[in-house]
Structure 1
Amino acid sequence: MRIAPSPTPDDSAATSPSDVDAELDAAADAEADAAADDGVVDHADSTAQPPAAPSDTGAFDRALVVVHGMGNAYRSQILLEWAEPLLSRMDWLARDRVIGAADRHGVAIHESDLSGDLPIITATVRSPGPRAQAAGAPAEDDDDVVQRIAIIEARWSESFVPMSRGQIFQWAVVFMWRMIRRVLGLFLGTMVLVPWYTLVRHWNKPPGAPRKLPKGVDLVIDTVRLAVCSIAFAVTWMFLVLLALVLTPILPLISPLLLIPWFKNVAQGFIDGIIESIGDVAAWKERPVRASAMRLVVRDALTRAKELVGDDGDVHLFAHSQGAAVATLALFEELRPSDYNVSRLTTVGAAVVLLGRDRWLGRPDEYKPVSDWLKRNAEADAHRGVKWANYWAIWDPFSAGPIADTATGRRERWRNAYFPGRSTAQGPEEHAVHNTSQPFLDHSVYFQNTIQVVEPTARHLLGPEFPPAPVAVAQVENLLSVIDKKSLGINMLAAVVIAAILPGLPGVYAAFATLASWVAGAIGFMIGVFPGGQDVAEAVPATIAAASFVTDPDGLNPWSWLIASGFTLAVLIWLNQRLSTVTRRSREWDRCPIEPRHWLVLSSIPRAAYVAGAVICAWFAIFAWSRPPLEWLVASAVILLIVAVFVFVEPLYAPVPVIVPARTDDDAANTLALAGIPAPMKLRDAVATDGFQKDLAARRRLLSPQGWRAEVWAGWFHDWPKSAEAPAPEAVATTD
């Protein structure tokens, strides 16, 4: 990090400031074009642009090495997957007017080599300096802080020879049962133990202690939640165990079956996809030589990163899924982190505990990553220890929770994520996050979790000098993000209920068949228009008749029902995703503040519509399919209404995970880490704090919405543009 412009030459840089200033005007336009082409818009004024940072030794303040997870990753895939959201968020943070940003601040991309031997992206981040941060208004150029950042990838997926299909599938039987046990343990905690612990804590809360709801209401909600979630877990347990029982005899036979021509033609593509996903996992566990080749890629990337930052810069290692197991073992067992200037390790969806280390025949398959981490930190000096943060989604089956050396320690740290208490288990800083609230999807979308994963990582890259968000503001954003993701999952479940029932209701399939007839007729019309085909009068009826399995109003059967349900589910999922994207973007990216209660009301409208649709479909199904007596019909309506109310309010009152501080064998460090984690607050308490109210008031004064969506929000909630404050003359002078 340096303050720009630097009054003296920077010995760690490849070029001197005077040389850079001479090149600045000629490079400005090219830098702006490169930034726009690479997905990050450079808003800075060209006359105040930072220099293009060369890819030479010591030219950067910080380097990030990203390591991909299991599967056949193509060149630059993991680099783009994480560099784009991280640079976008750093640009967003650096241009925050509340901390005194002006138009010259933000990200400028200098190099985006995505096809070289070692893909790399280099950028400069210019942010407000101490004077601007203190005043909350732009200062002169000499106050600016400039961070030079390089991002490189460690792609190990082509560094080894894959195992044969037969070897992989034989290994997969044992590994499958181990993974299912861990998945069921995670789901047991998330679906059963969290509701149970919540019920007990609410019931045992002493008289006079603050409550969100009366004790009786808490008891009803907690009991219903526990019952529903226990039933859901039982269904999930049966499905996964039955699936494993079916696959156990089948997996070893898949490779011989490929010798049959017709089976190979049908299943070859699907099986090759499975091999690409789990083949490298098998090689990691069963072939130590190939596992060493994977770790060598990480070492080479760290070597290059050390060259880029020189002796004074910092290297951050960021690893996902299997890449976390590869990177952790390489960093803490084979390398000395201080030799590579590694100051921070971030793991997301980490399969460290699931995969462990490579297994040599005749050796115990024992791996203690936390002990290795603590040992390396003890060997380093006070300024070269590695800070480790682990992010795991609550529905991610591969990470399956926190990292510790023992099962007891993992359970303790998992419980502390929901119910903070006395902790003795050692481990990294744990972040339980909400990605999509959908099992088997959470593992691959960490890079889309802006608030809980991307922003903390971006702030680490910006360095400790960058001003942190007020505690209350950060906690409000986290709580709203959790509510949003829980709503996304509830809407998905409601969409499944609607899609499964709706086509079978009287008259509904006839309407669907009519719509399908219109679509088929339009296709037939287009066929008849083109020369050489049938006449339109013949083509339209022929096309409708060819699709009679979905166009016949009286032709409802299991297959047509399945097709109609699939179409309905696709539409509902698409609509759910679009609505979620709009509400999430308005909160995370549009610089238009909104009070949480207003956002909660607006974001609850889609959830109410989906839940109401599911309840109405279920009630009409009971009425149409079973024709019960009136009293049973009324009773079913009351029960469905109670369930609907519970499902609707559940995202607002369910427990929200908190950060579990890192715990080592150093009591002083443990105390410091615990002090650095703010105490969790309820949403209404966080909103009422002076920190949140001052931040909201400052953003209203500086309101300058960008884009029609932000302008609409500003007009609704802040009477914009009438409420916009005229910029101060000195602020205008610094940005011209």
Structure 2
Amino acid sequence: MLIAPAAGSESAKAPDDGAFDVALVVVHGMGNAFKSQILLEWAEPLLERMDWVARDRIIGADESHGVTIHDSDLSGDTPVVTATVRFPKRRDPAAPDAPPETVERRIAILEARWSESFVPMTRAQVFRWAVPFMWRVITRTLDLFWNTMVVLSALTLGHHLRAPRQALLLPRTMNFLVDGIRLLVNTIAFAVVWLFLVLLGVVLTPILPLLSPLLLIPWFKNIAQGVLDGLVESIGDVASWKERPVRASAMRLVVRDALAHAKQLVGDDGEVHLFAHSQGAAVATFALFEELEPKSFNVRRLTTVGAAVVLLGREKWQGRKDEYTPVKTWIERNRDAAPEDRVAWANHWAIWDPFSAGPIADTPADARKRWQAAYFPSDETLALGPEEHAVHNTSQPWLDHGVYYANTVQVVEPTVRHLLGPDFPTVAAPVDYIRNRLVVIDKKSLGLSTIAALFIAAMLPGLSGMSAVFAWLITTIAGAIGSAIALVPGLDGSAASASVAFLIDDDADPPRLTVIGWVIASALLAALLIWLNQLMQKQTERSIVWDRCPLDVRTWLVLTAVPRALYVIGAAVVVWFAILDWWEPQPDAASLAIDAALLAIVAAFVIVEPRFSPAPRVVPEQRTLDDRATVLPPTERMRLGVAIASQEYQAELAARRARLQPDGPWATWWAKHFHGWTPGQQPPGA
């Protein structure tokens, strides 16, 4: 169990050298980072998940297993968290009746905070540099979105056309219809995104170099200085990395010192793992493979998340070629090292993250191959590179880059299992596939419901009837507030109604919202619907990630589709009423019926799309093109129906249900109706 130090207590002493089995060094991304910020951002979810998996009864754990935190020094010169994890040792399949053993794993987590290791560039320098960098980001983002939205849809369509009928979930005609609609909708959506990003770049290109001189104007400085300083604080680190080699070296020095400290903590026999996010991944990768000798620091694993390794590359020197081949260097370092000294490299990238923008490779062609290998691997997709994890964080491009720490199944747990080492029990392949696939479905549902919520919020307050309802609601609330104020002696409550007059058009019959009122009502309604959507998604995600006895897959798919269906059907109804209310001339009954049928087809597609869309797989490390054993033939690729029917999944579900001990009326009702639990049922070994 997690045991935190008492409030106000201090660490008894500094961690002893050589006292730990593994040390994890975490490196933050671009922007200013406070002391212990990146440490807490990752140490808390890692230790929480570590405790959960170590105490899982399905692997033979009991109350003596789990995480014990020893020190949480967050304010010292080198912030560090130390802990011991106790878990049942993985059983040898050749000796299933051997007595159980408990493993103790001593872990230290420390941070490498480089954001204060150099003097930042000036605003003018940053904004002049930002224009070409902005276009590089836009180009890479469009390439990622083209692959994710259009190419993947086309590949899925082609795969289903070639697949045997027994491998398809629906009849071939229905699959073709679903795949065709997906390809059409995604192509149109990509065209809209392309137009928006290109126009944004065109507008910002002449503006960015002028922002610093404009701050000389007093009124502009008062309005914009805070925003611009925040922007410079974020991208200024990137500019310093690319344009100022001395400052870039200062960043890498922090990583080297953190690795040296980690090496002291684990001694000669322990392992050091390096974990880096965003720009920190570029800093850490360059420092580890270009400047340091990994085996001198006992580095055995590099994990990058949202990595800007390809985007940022190396620092630029005048008169030097800006060529950077991180994969080639990593392979050469491993080729010269003994097997026990080689560095494994795992890279996690969210499919909507514009900064990582896909896999790490030395050439765009190799990156495209490894991207395709995440969905439809074949001999043609072989390319050199690290282990690639395409993950689903939020399905929202403006959020995906910063929330890798919240992706428990696809990012946190794989990192946890690496830290716990080979003695920790493994997960059966079908069980692991099911959990990953359900997470993908859940996150895609979150994104689709968010889009539906925005449609509802944008249109609903503008409908004639709903506009009058919103106007009445605002008037009623303002009147009630005014009446409450008037109850206080000496106060006049009439101003409450007057304060909202600009939101309501009283000349209309009945009164309705003004344009400003419509915008404000839409913003408030969008906030409410998105909040409810995220609240429901947290519950569905929890049922996958944290329930000791999760629902069977088919029941989960049905129950979790209900919120998505409500949002999507609600959006379709609002769009139909908008056509009825706004279209001029007024559409006839036949046109309205056709519109309703088309909207119903689109709504049905959106509701079922997450279930039919492909889920990414892990692309193994590829250090030589001669090794083709990592490519799965089409007949061996896992599918959800096959995984559900597998003996491994059915056995685990039965074992978890047998261990159910519901506590309370609601838990008892749930266990009876969804898991077949009966009163008096005792877990094995009780």
TM-score normalised by the chain length of structure 2: 0.94
Q: For residue 112 of structure 1, what is the amino acid of its counterpart?
A: S
| 1:313 matches 2:276 | no
Structure 2 counterpart of 1:550, one-letter code: L
CA distance in 2, matches of 1:205, 1:674: 17
Q: Equivalents in 1 of 2:12, 2:20: separation in Å?
A: 11
Match of 1:633 in 2: 592
Residue 32 and residue 449 in structure 1: after superposition, are their counterparts in 2 closer, same or farther (change >3 A)? Answer: closer
Q: Distance in 2 between matches of 1:666 and 1:369?
A: 17
CA contact (8 A) 2:505 2:514 kept: no
Q: Which residue of 2 aligns with 1:496?
A: 454
In the TM superposition, residue 52 of structure 1 has moved relative to its aligned partner by 9.7
Distance 1:551 1:424, change over 3 A: same
Deviation at 1:144, TM superposition (A): 1.3
Tell me the equivalent position of 1:336: 293
| CA distance in structure 2 between the aligned counterparts of 1:709 and 1:71, rounded to whole angstroms | 46
* 1:312 to 1:522, Cα distance in 2 relative to 1, 3 A: farther
State whether structure 2 residue 387 is matched by structure 1 residue 429: yes
SS of alignment partner, residue 344 of structure 1: strand
**Equivalent residues of 2:138, 2:197 under 8 A apart:** yes
* Deviations 1:262-310, CA, capped at 9 Å, x for gaps: 0000011111111111110000000000000000010010000000000
CA distance in 1, matches of 2:287, 2:163: 47
Q: Please point out which of 182, 186, 193 is paired with 2:140.
A: 182
Q: Distance in 2 between matches of 1:589 and 1:672?
A: 34
What do the CA deviations read for 1:452-492 (whole angstroms, capped 9, x no partner)?
A: 11111111111111011111110000010000000000000
Residue identity matched to 1:161: V
Matches within 5 A, 1:222-371: 222-371=179-328
Residue pair 1:592, 1:714 contacting (<8 A) in 2 also: no
Q: Report the AA paired with residue 565 of structure 1.
A: S
Alignment partners' CA distance in 2, 1:76 and 1:332 = 26
Q: Residue 682 of structure 2 corresponds to which residue in structure 1?
A: 725
- 2:464 partner letter: P
1:152 correspondence with 2:123: no
The whole-number CA distance in structure 1 between the counterparts of 2:645 and 2:148 is: 30
2:497 aligns with: 544
CA RMSD of aligned residues (A): 2.6
Which residue is equivalent to 2:44?
84
1:53 and 1:148 in contact (8 A); partners too: no
Q: Which runs of 5+ in 1 are unaligned?
A: 1-27, 39-50, 730-736
Does structure 1 retain, via aligned residues, the 8 Å contact 2:549–2:653?
no
Q: How far is 1:555 from its partner?
A: 4.6
Deviation larger for 580-589 or 633-642: 580-589
Counterpart-to-counterpart distance in 2, 1:138 and 1:79: 39
2:272 is paired with a residue whose SS is strand
1:150/1:636 Cα in 2 relative to 1: closer, same or farther (>3 Å)? Answer: same
- List per-residue Cα deviations over 1:26-56 (Å, max 9, x = no partner): xx9xx94528999xxxxxxxxxxxx999711
How many percent of aligned residue pairs carry the same amino acid? 58
Cα pair 1:544 1:551 within 8 Å, conserved: no
Q: Is the 8 A contact 2:18 2:266 kept in 1?
A: yes
Determine the structure 2 residue equivalent to 1:112.
72
Change (3 A) 1:526 1:94: farther
Deviation by residue 1:694-713 (Cα, 9 ceiling, x = unmatched): 11111011123578875554
Matched with 1:590 is: 547
2:658 and 2:684 in contact (8 A); partners too: no
Picking from 570, 578, 603, the partner of 2:560 is: 603
Alpha-carbon distance, 1:516 to partner: 2.7
Match of 1:560 among 502, 505, 517: 517
Q: Distance in 1 between matches of 2:314 and 2:6?
A: 40
Residue of 581, 584, 591 corresponding to 1:624 = 581
The aligned residue for residue 418 of structure 2 is 460
Following the alignment from structure 1 to structure 2, what is the Cα–Cα distance between the partners of residues 437 and 708?
A: 36
* Residue 547 (structure 1) shift: 1.7
> 2:594 and 2:15 mapped to 1: Cα distance?
71
Post-superposition Cα deviations, 1:517-537, rounded to whole Å, max 9, x if no partner, equal: 344345545655667xx43xx
- Counterpart CA distance in 1 for 2:29 and 2:668 is 40
* Distance change in 2, residues 1:260/1:435 (3 Å): same
Looking at structure 2, the residues matched to 346 and 688 of structure 1 have their Cα atoms a distance apart, in angstroms, of 33
| In structure 1, C-alpha distance between the alignment counterparts of 2:313 and 2:471, rounded to whole Å | 53
Deviation at 1:726, TM superposition (A): 4.7
Residue identity matched to 1:714: A
Q: Distance in 2 between matches of 1:186 and 1:659?
A: 18
* Amino acid paired to 1:77: Q
Q: Give the corresponding residue for 1:449.
A: 407
- Which residue in the other structure is 1:10 paired with? none
Q: CA deviation at 1:515?
A: 2.9
Instruction: Please state if 1:656 is matched with 2:638.
Output: no
Change (3 A) 1:90 1:134: farther
| Equivalent pair of 2:35/2:75 in contact (CA under 8 Å) | yes
| CA shift for structure 1 position 727 | 5.4
- Choose the corresponding residue for 2:119, options 161, 167, 182: 161
Question: Is contact 1:72-1:277 (8 Å) kept?
Answer: yes
Counterpart CA distance in 2 for 1:277 and 1:137 is 57
Distance in 2 separating the partners of 1:380 and 1:525: 80
The answer to whether the 8 A contact 2:91-2:425 is kept is no
| Alpha-carbon distance between aligned partners in 2 of 1:510 and 1:135, rounded to the nearest angstrom | 74
Q: Which residue of 2 aligns with 1:34?
A: 5
* Counterpart code for 1:34: P
Q: Give 1:6's aligned residue.
A: none
- Give the SS at the match of 1:108: strand
| Alpha-carbon distance in structure 1 between the residues aligned to 2:110 and 2:81 | 7
Bigger mean CA offset, 450-459 vs 658-667: 658-667
Aligned partner letter, 1:247: L
Give distance in 2, aligned partners of 1:54 and 1:214.
65
User: Matches of 1:571 and 1:525 in 2, distance apart?
Assistant: 27
- What pairs up with 1:45-84 in 2 under 5 angstroms? 55-84=15-44
**1:595, CA displacement in angstroms?**
0.3
| 2:367 counterpart (394, 410, 426) | 410
Could you report, residue by residue, the CA deviation over 1:611-650 in whole angstroms, capped at 9, with x for unpaired residues? 0000000000111112201111111001101101111110
Return the offset for 1:513: 2.6
TM-score, with length taken from structure 1: 0.88
Which string of whole-angstrom CA distances, capped at 9 and with x for unpartnered residues, describes residues 568-616 of structure 1?
0000000000000111112211212310001111100000000000000
- Secondary structure of 2:62's match? coil
1:100 aligns with 2:60: yes
Secondary structure (helix, strand or coil) at the match of 1:507 reads helix
